Structure 1
Amino acid sequence: MNCPRCNNTQSCKDGIVRGRQRYQCKSCRFPYTVSHKSDVKPVSTKRKALQLYLEGLGFRAIGRILNISYGTVYQWVKACGEQVSLPERQDQVEIVEMGEIHTYVGSKKSTAEYG
């Protein structure tokens, strides 16, 4: 096992924290843990959560199905969305029809801003 900071192979035990053995590098005195966290979800679970989100399920429903936090599902979807680039329109729009907007505004039944 090598030190993550200086890549030195010499280390000594430095106690147990939350059930995991800690080590300390003899050259740079950096404390580190060798074993991986148990709460790291496999890539297949992340892929399944993204697939369920694209099918239309909500964050809480996906969390209940996969037995994970809905906040974790939200973070995965947000990170995936930041990686994807949106398609950009190459040609310019020359004609815009205003009829639909005029019909929508005229059909509103609220009396706000009418004095």
Structure 2
Amino acid sequence: MQCPQCKSSQNKKNGFRRSKQSYKCKACGCQDVGNPQKKRYSPEVKQLCLKMYLNGMGFRAIARVTEIDRATIINWVKERGKNLADNLPEEIPEITWVRGTPNVCRKQKE
């Protein structure tokens, strides 16, 4: 195993971090955990959480059902929101009431 900073192979064991063996470089003193692995969720799980959110479930409810941290779900929603295009119409139609029912009146272009 090489040090990520100085690329030296002179390492010694230096305890455990989050149930993983930790190493310390003898050359530069850098501490490192060999082969750290992030927990990744499948695209299907992300899609399921986003569908739950779009169908009106709250972040806490989704976290309880899927057993995924609430902050992770919030980050997924924010990430997806940034990728959306602004498809809002330039002009908002005027709504008038005709005999108790709403009627959408659009201004015609001249």
The answer to whether TM tops 0.5 is: yes
Deviation at 1:63, TM superposition (A): 0.9
Give the counterpart letter for 1:68 in structure 2: I
Aligned counterpart, 1:8? 8
Partner letter of residue 80 of structure 1?
R
Q: Identity rate of aligned residues, in percent? A: 32
Greater share of strand = 2
Aligned equivalents of 1:11 and 1:25: distance in 2? 4
Could you tell me how far 1:31 is from its partner in structure 2? 0.1
Q: Secondary structure at the match of 1:24?
A: strand
What secondary structure sits across from 2:86 in the alignment? coil
Aligned to 1:70: 70
| Residues in 2 aligned to 1:43 and 1:8: alpha-carbon distance in whole angstroms | 35
Two-structure CA RMSD over aligned residues (Å): 3.2
Q: Distance in 2 between matches of 1:4 and 1:46?
A: 32
Alignment of 1:1-115 (within 5 A): 1-36=1-36, 40-44=39-43, 45-82=45-82, 84-87=83-86, 100=95
Question: Which structure has more helix as a fraction of its residues?
Answer: 1
TM-score between the two structures when normalised by the length of structure 1 = 0.58
Paired residues in the alignment total 96
In structure 1, stretches of 5+ residues that fail to align are 104-115
Q: Deviations over 1:11-63 (max 9, x none)?
A: 1111223432110123222101124357x242343343223323443212211
Q: Secondary structure at the match of 2:32?
A: strand
Return the TM-score normalized by structure 2. 0.60
Write the deviation string for residues 60-89 of structure 1: whole angstroms up to 9, x where unpaired.
Answer: 22112211232321122113323x042367
Letter in 2 for 1:42: Y
- In the alignment, the residues of structure 2 paired with residue 22 and residue 70 of structure 1 have an alpha-carbon distance, to the nearest angstrom, of 29
